[in-house]
Structure 1
Amino acid sequence: MKIQLLSLLFLFGAQGFAQNLLELSNLNDFKPQIGNWKVVGEVQVNPAIDVHDMQNHEQETKSKKRRRRRKEVEERPKAVAYKSGTGILLNMNDSEKKDRLETRWKHGDIKLDMEVMIPKGSNSGIYLQGRYELQLKDSWGVIHPKVSDMGGIHNNWETDPDKIFRGIPPLHNACKAPGLWQKLNIHFQAPKFNDKGEKMANARFVSVVLNGVVIHTNVEVPQYTGSPIEKNEVSEGPLVIQGDHGPVAFRNIKYQLLEPSDVSMSAISYKTYKGEFKGLEELQDADVVTEGQTQFIDVNLTGEEDNYGISFSGTLNIPEEGLYHLSLGYTGGVAFYMDSVSVLQKNAADRQEMLDTTLTLSQGEHDFVLNNIKSAGWRAPRLGLTVGTASTYPSTFHTYDSYPPAINTVSPIFVQPNTEPRCLRAFVSFGGDGKRLSHTIGVGTPEGVNYIYDLGSGNLVGLWRGDFVDATPMWHERGDGSFKPRGAVQWTFLNQPIAQLSDAKALFPETGHAPEFISKGYVIDETTRLPVFKQVYRGVDIENRIEPNSTNTHVVREVRFSETGVQNWYFKLASGIIQQRPDGSYAINGEYYIKLLTDQVPVMREVDGETELVIAVDGSLVKYELIW
């Protein structure tokens, strides 16, 4: 048998191949530098301290030590602290040590994933090929981001009109608060040159995604940006990280080098059929309507919109043995065979989806057969096949019209606050694809600070900044009752956060499992125009207010009780991996902060394999910030 089906974890987009991982157990992947870069095991950032203030203080301290060596100099809290170990790449530059970090390997087209942590006021940059800078900066709270803000493609400072590049700002500010881990995904295409060295295509950021938000899509960069390693453009260059503007940390750096694919198809023939086929096996006894040779897979060879069948056969030419990823898009039903082995199949007549698989293929020729039927008048004919490897772009073997890019034929229905907040009831799947919550309400503000509140549990379950929601899934035709937040949602935790517990290890009740908890809906505050959520628990009235803070960077939650002196009541603030920060806040999963504004003292407890941050409540005010 020439092929072997594999079950692989799809780690990177449609291609489904694992990336190269920089293990960060040492700095062997990088060229030598002066010492500001190091590998560590843990980094803690004090989000209240600006790195520039800290650096100024350190300079003053050095000066004072020189003048008064025998006198103690005041010690201040540090903006960045770290512990020894491996797995995290950290830059701690100063006035004397401020080298860039440059990989020993070079790249052309590349897909790059990483997580980055930026202290307050800090600044760095990722230089693709050492020449095209994607800005890394603490831009938390910036309303209108510029090219110099987080995710901007930086300008240069050339004066020659042919070399000036003004930069490209990000589409959105998706930057998180300082000291939190932020996810960055980059797909970069290098400039292309002919045999004479003449540039035929500009460098291009195919896509850049920050914290789940697309901030660049298919933008060209016609010149190098500011401070490149060389003022020229090349087909390959190193990955470079700026090291002279401030502390910055990285982890989980993965990359995938991409080249054109040499996979090809030849001797493609086709046969078309007419009929209301219900299963692929019906093609065996069907009469052939037309047949012939073709250069590409093209479902339009049937000449029909519906009730058709088509079969392609030919040879797939594999240049070298290795792993190959096949993606097959279709409407109706489909079957793909290689060397008489079933590779992909969905025996139906009315489906519309993409099937993927990964194979080990030997070098040489492989016979294939591709069958497709469709009896679904409400779907357009579509059939497309791509084949690629871990290090190549997928080769496309269909015509554009046979499988055109997906186009939304429905005008989106956006809901956006104007001068006042907006509230919208909907179904919501926690985490985007998790437990479906049936009694949730989305709240959007004109300032762009939005959240999802679960009326069933009295819990704040998700927050995001930017535009409010896409209500198309809810209101188009019959709808499904849900909306899509138009930003990267920071999810918190599920179930009821307020409960009377029998002991310190008892579980908080699941939503709907505490009959003493009754939701009373909400009223609109006349001043803020925001909802005030109301519940009754064990005869005590509870009010929840969730409002943007004064600078519109995060929210403040305030919980009031109608009675004091309640016994054995607890309030769950967060759940997950919890670390206390030097400023008194708590980092939750490295994704957001909780900072208590009242006098209760939080306690971390381990319950049912989960760490929870809880406070004892007696009916007094609970007030805290949720910062992301």
Structure 2
Amino acid sequence: MNNKTILTLLLAFGSVSAFAQNAKPEDTEVWEPVPKVVTPGKTTAEAPSDAIVLFDGKNLNEWASADDNSKPAKWDVAGGALTVKKSEGGIVTKRKFTNYQLHVEWRVPANITGTGQGRGNSGIFLASIGKGDAGYELQVLDSYNNKTYVNGQAGSIYKQFPPLVNPTRKPGEWQTYDVIWTAPTFNEDGSVKTKAYVTAFLNGVLVQNHTELLGPTQYIGKPSYQKHGAAPIYLQAHGDPSEPLSFRNIWVREL
């Protein structure tokens, strides 16, 4: 190292030292914009003040038939819960969403029967982009001592990514999903600009950690993206022979 280099380093070190000596705590304080005040619920199940309540145990005013969006949802509402009515098909939100935080609780009956995928099967499609089961599915299934393929158990992004762990409770107990959904974006020509991401907690335990999706759910074959915009949330009526499952305390915060 020559004298010129040494002098340069000394001058630089001196400048940094002088800046550090003259720095104040206020230099790194940010005061604006001030975050909006949001009043949290009294419990984690209760919707915060800025949430859209999709189901509060009273009615299905926020939902429509998935088969015909002009018709009302006809699942059964009783005891603060809504229960799948397989003969009526799935239901979708009347509102469409892009990015959001979702809270939803679900329960399979204590007397559940069947095995594998035929045991309390349903799904929460975080964005429903067409007729039937077209969209991005977070699996709902009794996965308590119920063997099946791991990318089809509760907490999985169906047929894509298994959950990090299996924190499901026994049949008859309420299960809770808390989800962060980041919708995909597309270029004008339909090509993918940014992919979809899911972070999900099941019963307070992380099961999907900012997972990059491969595209919408495919029962058969590989997933691939297709251009779409804001989309409703869809609750599936799978039609398996098990006793029907129920949902409650559904709310969403747009992000």
Question: Quick one: percent identity of the two aligned structures?
Answer: 28
Q: Which residue of 2 aligns with 1:214?
A: 206
Equivalent position SS for 1:252: strand
2:120 matches 1:116: no
Give the corresponding residue for 1:150: 154
Q: CA RMSD in A?
A: 3.0
Task: Measure the CA separation in 2 of the matches of 1:243 and 1:98.
Answer: 8
Match of 1:244 in 2: 238
Q: Structure 1 pair 29/40, CA: closer, same or farther in 2 (3 Å)?
A: same
Q: Alpha-carbon deviation of 1:25?
A: 2.6
Give, in whole Å, the separation in 1 of the partners of 2:148 and 2:164.
9
Q: In 1, Cα distance between the equivalents of 2:34 and 2:192?
A: 41
Q: How does 1:402-441 map to 2 (within 5 A)?
A: none
Q: Deviations over 1:315-357 (max 9, x none)?
A: xxxxxxxxxxxxxxxxxxxxxxxxxxxxxxxxxxxxxxxxxxx
The alpha-carbon distance between structure 1 residues 6 and 240, as it changes in their structure 2 partners (threshold 3 A), is closer
What residue number does 1:183 align with?
176
CA distance in 1, matches of 2:147, 2:65: 39
The answer as to whether partners of 1:174 and 1:210 remain within 8 angstroms in 2 is yes
Partners of 2:63 and 2:73 within 8 A in 1: no
Is 1:151–1:169's contact at 8 Å kept on the other side of the alignment? yes
Residue 127 of structure 1 deviates from its aligned partner by: 0.6
Pairwise CA distance, 1:179: 1.4
* Distance in 1 separating the partners of 2:35 and 2:184: 36
| Alignment map for 1:490-501 (pairs within 5 Å) | none
Query: What's the counterpart of residue 126 of structure 1?
Result: 124
Query: 1:99 and 2:97 equivalent?
Result: no
- Give the superposition deviation at 1:139: 0.8
Does structure 2 conserve the Cα–Cα contact (< 8 Å) formed by 1:36 and 1:99? Answer: no
Give the conservation status (yes or no) of the 8 Å contact 2:136–2:216.
yes
Counterpart residue number, 1:27: 60
> In 2, are the aligned partners of 1:203 and 1:220 still within 8 Å (CA)?
yes
- Contact 1:135–1:154, Cα closer than 8 Å, also in 2: yes
Contact 1:27 1:39 in 2 (8 A): no
CA shift for structure 1 position 248:
1.7
Partner of 2:3: none
Amino acid of the structure 2 residue aligned with 1:89: L
1:147 partner SS: helix
**Secondary structure of the residue that 2:151 maps to in structure 1?**
coil
Residue of structure 2 equivalent to 1:256:
253
1:226 corresponds to which residue? 218
Is contact 1:129-1:239 (8 Å) kept? yes
Give the direction of change, closer, same or farther, for the CA distance of 1:235–1:98 in structure 2 (3 Å limit): same
Alpha carbons of structure 1 residues 29 and 5: separation in structure 2 relative to 1, 3 Å: closer
2:2 matches 1:9: no
Equivalent pair of 2:100/2:180 in contact (CA under 8 Å): yes
- Structure 1 or 2, whichever has the larger Rg, is 1
Residue by residue, what CA displacement relative to the aligned partner does 1:471-507 show, whole Å, maximum 9, x if unpaired? xxxxxxxxxxxxxxxxxxxxxxxxxxxxxxxxxxxxx
Matched residue type, 2:228: V
Where do 5+ consecutive residues of structure 2 fail to align?
A: 1-32, 113-118, 129-134, 220-224
Q: Indicate how the Cα distance of structure 1 residues 7 and 38 shifts in structure 2: closer, same or farther if over 3 A, else same.
A: same
Contact 1:133/1:226, CA 8 A, preserved across alignment = no
Q: C-alpha separation between the residues in 2 aligned to 1:5 and 1:146?
A: 40
- C-alpha spacing 1:188/1:219, structure 2 compared with 1 (3 Å): same
Change (3 A) 1:178 1:19: same
Taking the aligned partners of 2:123 and 2:158, their CA distance within structure 1 comes to: 9
Describe the shift of the 1:108–1:177 C-alpha distance in structure 2 as closer, same or farther (beyond 3 A). same
Structure 2: distance between partners of 1:143 and 1:90: 24
Contact 2:167–2:205 (Cα < 8 Å) also in 1: yes
Checking the alignment, whether the CA contact within 8 Å between 2:75 and 2:88 is kept in structure 1 is no
Tell me the equivalent position of 1:136: 140
Distance in 2 between residues matched to 1:111 and 1:232, nearest whole Å: 23
- Structure 2 matches for 1:523-534, cutoff 5 A? none
Q: Which has the higher contact order (CA 8 A, sep 6+)?
A: 2
**1:41 and 2:54 are equivalent in the alignment:** no
Equivalenced residues, count: 192
Report deviation, 1:91.
Answer: 0.6
Q: What is the CA-CA distance between 1:92 and the residue it aligns to?
A: 3.0
- What code does the residue aligned with 1:21 have? V
d(CA) in 2 for partners of 1:33 and 1:116?
A: 19
User: Aligned-pair distance for 1:232?
Assistant: 3.3
**In structure 2, what residue type is equivalent to 1:129?**
A
List structure 1 runs of 4+ shifted beyond 3 angstroms. Answer: 3-8, 32-37, 142-145
Counterpart contact for 1:145–1:172, Cα < 8 Å: no
- In the alignment, the residues of structure 2 paired with residue 189 and residue 39 of structure 1 have an alpha-carbon distance, to the nearest angstrom, of 30
1:117-176 Cα deviation digits (max 9, x unpaired): 123221100011110011100110257860111111112xxxxxxxxxxx1000111111
Q: Quick one: structure 1 residues 235 and 4, their matched pair in 2 at CA, closer, same or farther if it must change by over 3 Å?
A: closer
CA 1:233–1:125 in 2, change beyond 3 Å: closer, same or farther? farther
Q: Deviations over 1:518-550 (max 9, x none)?
A: xxxxxxxxxxxxxxxxxxxxxxxxxxxxxxxxx
Residue correspondence of structure 1 range 612-623 to structure 2 within 5 A: none
Deviations 1:177-216 (A, max 9, x none): 11111111010111012344431111111x1000011001
Paired with 2:91 and 2:191, the residues of 1 have a C-alpha distance of: 29
User: TM-score normalized by structure 2?
Assistant: 0.66
What per-residue deviation string (whole Å, max 9, x for no partner) do you get for residues 412-439 of structure 1? xxxxxxxxxxxxxxxxxxxxxxxxxxxx
CA displacement at 1:27 relative to structure 2: 2.2
Question: 1 or 2, which has the higher helix percentage?
Answer: 2
The reply to whether residue 18 of structure 1 matches residue 10 of structure 2 is no
How far, CA to CA, are the matches of 1:92 and 1:136 in structure 2?
16
Q: Is the 8 A contact 1:175 1:210 kept in 2?
A: yes
